[in-house]
Amino acid sequence: MSFSARTRGGEMAGSLWQAAALLALAGNAIPASAAESPSEEAPLVVRGTPAARAPEVFGTVGLPVRAERYAELWNHVLAGRIDAPALQHFVAPARRLEPAAQLAFVQRAAGQLRWRSDATVWGQHEYWATAAETLQAGYADDDCLAVLKMQALQALGWSPRNLYLTIGHDQVAGATTVLLVRTGEGFQLLDDRSERPLPAAERSGFVPQLSFSSAGHWLHGRLARTGGATLAAR
């Protein structure tokens, strides 16, 4: 088997992830000390077999990881208050809507915010603002917009286990973050380019790399067969 992956931190060593994939698919876990960082930052560590709630979308499978490089950012998101007055006011018009209409409302309403970088708004190179922080600031980048949409849907009663903050690569926008939403009709993608949610099956040019939800963190990969069984991820 072979396994390689590319994230914002750079390209991970193929030989390392070959071993990671073999052990993960066998149901074992790799201790943090055995993993090599894609750069000099905290590593992404494969920790077991694909979970039942893994976001297997765009032809990928999800391998559980400890995304320690993003721990501080993600923990800040998790600490965001869903009952914050600004967020409750933001979602109020959508409370009586059907689920599909709620998705459309959140995508459209979030799109009204003007784009500004984290460095400009927060004075940091990378910052995942909570929904309340973003609404107070009135500006957001792709990461913060995705968090706003995630927490807005939670405020409307959507299960956080069906909401995935997903880092990936878009063939037009480059590195970007979107919200993936698991519905009864499949995954919907909410990005910062479209005016409406898009079924993942209709969204071309996006490659998911790393996803976060209340149920865990996943590295996206692709299964392929070339003679013998081969696992490859890019």
- The pLDDT of residue 225 is 61
- The pLDDT of residue 42 is 45
Q: Please state, rounded to an integer, the average pLDDT across all residues of the chain.
A: 80
CATH topology (fold) of 73-218: C8orf32 fold (3.10.620)
How far is 73 from 75, CA to CA, in rounded Å?
6
DSSP state of 32: G
The yes-or-no verdict on residue 29 having pLDDT over 80 is: no
**Which residues partner with 6 through β-bridges?**
11
Instruction: Give, to the nearest 10 degrees, the angle between helix 71-78 and helix 142-155.
Output: 30
- The pLDDT of residue 22 is 37
- Residue spans per domain, the chain: 73-218
- The pLDDT of residue 83 is 97
How far is 148 from 135, CA to CA, in rounded Å?
8
- The pLDDT of residue 20 is 40
**Which residues partner with 186 through β-bridges?**
183
What does the pLDDT look like over 32-85, one tens digit per residue? Answer: 333 333 333 444 444 445 455 788 899 898 999 988 999 999 999 999 999 999
The yes-or-no verdict on residue 17 having pLDDT over 80 is: no
160-189: average pLDDT: 95
Q: What pTM does this model have?
A: 0.78
Of 103-112, 119-128, 191-200, 217-226, give the lowest mean pLDDT range.
Answer: 217-226
Q: Which one, of 179, 180, 183, lies nearest residue 142 by Cα?
A: 179
